[in-house]
Amino acid sequence: MSKTASPALFELIKSLTKSEKRYFKIYASRHTIGEENNGVRIFDFIDQQEKFDEEEIYENFKGEAFLNQFPITKNRLYEQIISALDAFYASKDLEAQLYKMLHSINILYSKGLYDHAVNELKKAKRLANKHNKVAILLQLANKEKMILETRGYQKANTKSIDKHKQETLDLANQYSLYNSLWSLKSKLFIQLNQYGQARSSAELERYNELYEGFKQIEQPKEISFENQYLINHFKSAYYFAILENEKSLELLKENLAHFKANQNKMSEHPNQYFSILTNIIHSESKLGNSKAIHIHLNELKAFPHQLKSNITEDLAIKLFSSINSIELKILNQEGNFNKAIALSEEIKNGLEKYEEEITPFRKAYLAFNMSIAHFGNEDFNQSLKWINVILNNKDLDQKEDIVSFAHLLNLLIHFELKNDDLLPYAIKSTKRFLSKRKRTFKFESLFLKNLTKISNAQNKYEIEDLLQNIDEEIKDLKNDPFESVAFEYFDFHLWLISKVKNKSFQEVKREDYLIKRA
């Protein structure tokens, strides 16, 4: 028995819904003849395990013949579950239906039933055209060529061949456009995920280079739904990256209208529609549009009910993380830290439930905002626990800008906890971290320089003098487009004001929100 047994079968079984498990057992019973179904027995045993333990499986089925070749038995069971899932979703998933039709065309063709194959091909084309499945339409076009050649070009003429050629070229152009847009969009998001919005002219230039590549793409007169979505998506992300938030929001709204004009696409592409709503809320938040934020948040919360039973595990995870992240951010911006903390139990349960599936960045964003909520409520020990979720996460890309701001917030927490012995070492560590990742921008440099002075101050009066002296410098950075990004994670300036005025951070934050809202 291998000491490093793969947990793949366990992970697959644990991912199944009740309906999928029930269907698998029905499916397995139909495919087992004249013997007890060992696969179902193993399935049931693994299903009740809390953690994957292969030794426990060997102990439970001790003496059973199938244990002699257990890796093969596991692989067969894994494949049988996949086959059951394929059958379960065949009638529900559009692409599964189309690929089944493609397979039917091949079977009918191989039997020489060319008329039957053509009829199936026509049905598949109608369905694929209706839902604009370009990749499958290209495959169908090749099947059509194959049948025409085999039948010696019966019922074909020059005009029909030219029409077929043009249709195939149009499809190829759409497919080529999709690949170009997807590639550029992915490069843009890799950069955004690592560095966030532009913090320097060099970063701005990198984003502009990607946009120049976008401008070079030749676009056909007719653009498919998916390609128009990608065009709007890329441009909105680009404008977000270069700090032109209003233009970014305008394009996000164009994409929202694009979906609403094609209602069937919402259920067909729920992840994209959901992401548009999420990004609109973040953009409205940046611009301080409180009313619009709550309108779109209610729309986002209603979205799962529109989908009914069509929510995948992937979408459920995104709904959990994004809705909670947005609510946390809004409540923190309003200074409603108590209400934000009230979400902590739900968030802890969700993080535990989706521990393996949720991305490190989504975890970090939730943890960061929970840390701010506890910081604003002056529960600094809890704030530290949440910030350590980020700092101790080895799976998180250390280039992510949220990690840098987590290090800075960590210093403020230690300052508030009066960890005077620890703070100087923590500041040095943070300086090294930021320097290695070339994250020592104006704000970070000013912040660290003055926090070092504060940590070395001899008494509270000296600290008060230092705090007052940096107020103007911080305020200037807040008005600098490149540096203002820092204050969107945590408003360091308002924290400074709270110290200078000897008020609670919550009180100052609340006052600032009400002034902006008035």
Q: Considering the domain boundaries, does residue 309 fall inside one?
A: no
What is the helix, strand, coil percentage profile of the chain, to 5?
75, 0, 25
Q: Give the HSE-up count for residue 357: Cα atoms under 13 Å, Cβ half-sphere.
A: 17
**DSSP one-letter code for 393:** -
In angstroms, rounded to a whole number, what is the distance separating the alpha carbons of residues 331 and 506?
Answer: 11
Quick check: is 141 in a domain?
yes
- Answer yes or no: do 410 and 492 share one domain: yes
pLDDT of residue 6: 76
Q: How far apart are CA 232 and CA 252, in angstroms?
A: 7
Q: Rounded to an integer, what distance in angstroms lies between the CA atom of residue 265 and that of residue 136? A: 17
Residues with Cβ within 8 Å of residue 424, at least 6 apart in sequence: 452, 455, 456
Q: Which amino acid is at 332?
A: N
| Same-domain status, 511 and 405 | yes
Using a 10 angstrom Cβ sphere, with 0-12 exposed, 13-18 middle and 19 or more buried, the burial of residue 453 is: middle
- In angstroms, what CA-CA distances link 68 with 4, 58, 64, 74? 17, 10, 8, 12
Q: Which of 156, 175, 190 is the last residue of a domain?
A: 156
Given 109, 132, 156, which residue is the final one in a domain?
Answer: 156
- The count of domains in the chain is 3
For residue 261, tell me if it sits in a domain.
no
pLDDT at 86: 84
Residues 418 and 518 in one domain: yes
**Are 53 and 152 within one domain?**
no
Q: How far is the C-alpha of 286 from the C-alpha of 390, rounded, in Å? A: 23
Give the list of residues 6+ apart from residue 247 with CB closer than 8 angstroms, or none. Answer: 239
Question: In angstroms, rounded to a whole number, what is the distance separating the alpha carbons of residues 161 and 415?
Answer: 76
User: Do 102 and 85 reside in the same domain of the chain?
Assistant: no
**419, 492: one domain:** yes
Q: Is residue 304 classed exposed, middle or buried when 0-12, 13-18 and 19+ CB atoms within 10 A define those classes? A: middle
SS3 (DSSP) at 35:
coil
Q: Clarify whether residues 511 and 444 are in a common domain.
A: yes
132 and 22, same domain (yes or no): no
Q: Are residue 439 and residue 503 in the same domain, yes or no?
A: yes
Per-residue pLDDT of the chain (518 residues; tens, 9 = 90+): 444 567 889 989 988 888 889 889 888 887 665 445 788 889 999 999 888 888 899 999 888 888 888 888 889 899 999 988 888 877 677 888 898 899 999 999 998 999 999 999 999 999 999 888 899 999 999 999 999 999 888 878 899 999 999 999 999 999 999 999 999 999 999 988 888 889 889 999 999 999 999 999 988 888 989 999 999 999 999 999 999 999 999 999 999 999 999 888 888 888 899 899 999 998 998 887 888 888 988 888 888 777 765 677 778 888 888 889 889 998 998 899 999 999 999 999 998 888 878 888 889 999 999 999 999 999 999 999 999 999 998 887 665 688 999 999 999 999 999 898 888 899 999 999 988 888 778 888 888 888 888 777 767 677 777 777 777 778 788 888 888 888 888 888 888 888 878 889 999 999 988 887 76
Q: Are residues 33 and 122 in the same domain?
A: no
First CA to last CA distance, the chain = 69
265 inside domain: no
Same-domain check for residues 85 and 133: no
What confidence score (pLDDT) does residue 388 get?
95
Residue 32 lies in a domain: yes
Report pTM.
Answer: 0.76
On whether residue 376 sits in a domain, the answer given is: no
Q: Do both 23 and 128 map to the same domain?
A: no
Rounded Cα–Cα distance for residues 184 and 193 (Å): 14
The reported pLDDT for the residue numbered 33 is 52
Asked whether residue 299 is domain-assigned, the answer is no
Write the DSSP string, 181-236. Answer: HHHHHHHHHHHHHHH-S--SHHHHHHHHHHHHHHHTS---SS--HHHHHHHHHHHH
Domain of residue 18, residue span: 8-89
Q: Are 83 and 109 in contact (CB under 8 A)?
A: no
Residue 505 is assigned to a structural domain of this protein: yes
433 in Cβ contact with 407 (< 8 Å): yes
Of 123, 138, 156, the domain-final residue: 156
Q: How many residues does the chain have?
A: 518
What local confidence, expressed as pLDDT, does residue 2 receive?
A: 47
Residue 295, classified by CB atoms within 10 Å of its CB into exposed (0-12), middle (13-18) or buried (19+), is: middle
